[in-house]
């Protein structure tokens, strides 16, 4: 018991520091798991929120005991979480303002399929419905 007290007093706020670091990295880890393991594609809004909470805990740990390592952790994880906020905002897409409207014919076009053949709006008519998915392409 005395040893525990000694350790705690020697490293005040250490548990806050560890929890803060854990929260700061939890968001990106969760995002990777959702995206590649569960194949769930949602904006990772939770990542910078968890990260901000983590940085707050790291700052609390710094206030308990100031050391170069804790200052370093505050700087590194603040930058890390700042990047997460920036990335989240950069992922926003503009609202759609184009000519496609429910109940209206699809706009006229003539483009090319992967096999080089021509594809036009006339080929949207026939015996099949169409789900047209615009994607960002090869990354």
Partner 1 sequence: MIELGQLEANHEEFTKRHTRVIAVSVDGPDDSKKTKQDFPHLVVVADSDHKLVDAVQVLHAGAGERGEDVAAPTTILVDKNGVVRTLFRPTSVANRLSASEVLSMVDSKLAVP
Residues making contact with partner 1 (CB under 8 A): 35-36, 39-44, 88, 91-116, 119, 121-122, 124-139
Find out whether 77 and 51 touch, Cβ atoms under 8 Å: yes
- Pick the closer one to partner 1 by CB: 22 or 91: 91
Give dist(CA 115, CA 76) in Å, integer: 49
Q: State the nearest-atom distance from the C-beta of 39 to partner 1, in Å.
A: 6
- Pick the closer one to partner 1 by CB: 1 or 110: 110
Q: State the nearest-atom distance from the C-beta of 116 to partner 1, in Å.
A: 7
Q: State the nearest-atom distance from the C-beta of 70 to partner 1, in Å.
A: 32
Phi first, then psi: what are they for 122, rounded to 5°? -60, -30
């Amino acid at each position: 018991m005395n040893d525990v007290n000694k350790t705690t007093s020697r490293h005040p706020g250490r548990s806050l520091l560890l929890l803060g670091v854990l929260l700061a990295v939890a968001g990106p880890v969760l995002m990777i798991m959702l995206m590649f393991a569960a194949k769930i594609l949602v904006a990772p809004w939770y990542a910078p929120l968890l990260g901000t909470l983590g940085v707050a805990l790291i700052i609390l740990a710094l206030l308990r005991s100031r050391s170069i390592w804790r200052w370093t952790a505050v700087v590194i994880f603040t930058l890390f979480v700042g990047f997460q906020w920036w990335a989240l905002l950069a992922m926003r897409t503009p609202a759609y303002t184009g000519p496609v409207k429910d109940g209206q014919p699809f706009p006229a076009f003539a483009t090319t399929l992967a096999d080089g053949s021509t594809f036009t709006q006339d080929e949207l008519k026939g015996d099949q419905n169409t789900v047209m998915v615009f994607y960002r392409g090869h990354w």
